[in-house]
Amino acid sequence: MLILPPEIMTVLTPFAQVFRARIWDLVQVLVTGAILAPGKRTVTSVLHVMGLKDERQFQNYHRVLNRARWSAFQVSSILLRLLVEAFVPAGGTIVLGADETMERRWGPQIRDKSIFRDGKRSSKHYMHFTPALRWISMMLCVRPAWSSRLWALPFLTVLAPGPKTNAENKKRHKTSIDWIGQMITAVRRWLPGRTIVLVVDGGLAAVKLGQRCRRLDVAYITRARLDIVLHDPPTRKGAKKGKRLPALKQVLADPQTQWTTLNLNWYSHKRQTIQFCSQTALWCTQGQDPLPIRWVLVRDPQGHLLPTAFISTDLSLSPKQILGFFIGRWGLEVTFQEARAHLGLETQRQWSDLAIARTTPALLGLFSLVTLLAHRLCQDQPLPVRQTAWYHKREATFSDALALVRRHLWTHMQWVDSRPSTGLVTLPTSLLHGLIDTLCYST
Please give the Cα distance from 80 to 272 (Å, whole number). 33
Residue 12 lies in a domain: no
Eight-class DSSP state of 303: S
Mean pLDDT of 196-212: 96
Residue 425 pLDDT grade (very low, low, confident, very high; cuts 50, 70, 90)? low
How many angstroms separate the CA atoms of 345 and 337, rounded?
Answer: 9
Residue 176 lies in a domain: yes
Print the domain residue range for 88. Answer: 72-337
Gap between the Cα atoms of 292 and 214, Å rounded = 9
- pLDDT category at 331 given cuts 50, 70, 90 is very high
**pLDDT given at position 354:** 95
309: left (phi over 0), alpha (psi -120 to 50) or beta: beta
Reply yes or no on whether the pLDDT at 123 is more than 80. no
- Between CA 105 and CA 300 the distance in angstroms is 40
Distance between CA atoms of residues 265 and 273, nearest Å: 9
Residue 297 belongs to a domain: yes
How far apart are alpha carbons 327 and 214 in whole angstroms?
22
Q: What is the average per-residue pLDDT within 18-29?
A: 95
Dihedral of CA atoms 286, 291, 294, 296 in degrees, nearest 10, equals: -20
Q: Check: CB of residue 214 under 8 Å from CB of residue 185.
A: no
- Has residue 425 been placed in a domain? no
Provide the domain count of the chain: 1
- Of residues 312 and 51, the one with the higher pLDDT is 312
DSSP strands (E only) in 10-143: 94-104, 114-117, 129-142
pLDDT for 238 equals 84
In-domain check, residue 56: no
DSSP class of 106: -
Whole-number average pLDDT of the chain: 91
| In a domain? residue 440 | no
Handedness of CA 347, 353, 355, 357 (dihedral sign): positive
| Close Cβ partners of 234 (under 8 Å, ≥ 6 residues apart) | 240, 241, 242
Cβ contact 29:2 at 8 Å: yes
Q: CATH number for the domain including 213?
A: 3.90.350.10
Portion of the chain with pLDDT greater than 90, in percent: 71
Is 54 a domain residue? no
Residue 224 CB neighbour total at 10 angstroms? 19
- Per the domain annotation, does 136 fall within a domain? yes
- Give the dihedral of Cα atoms 84, 89, 93, 96; nearest 10 deg: -30
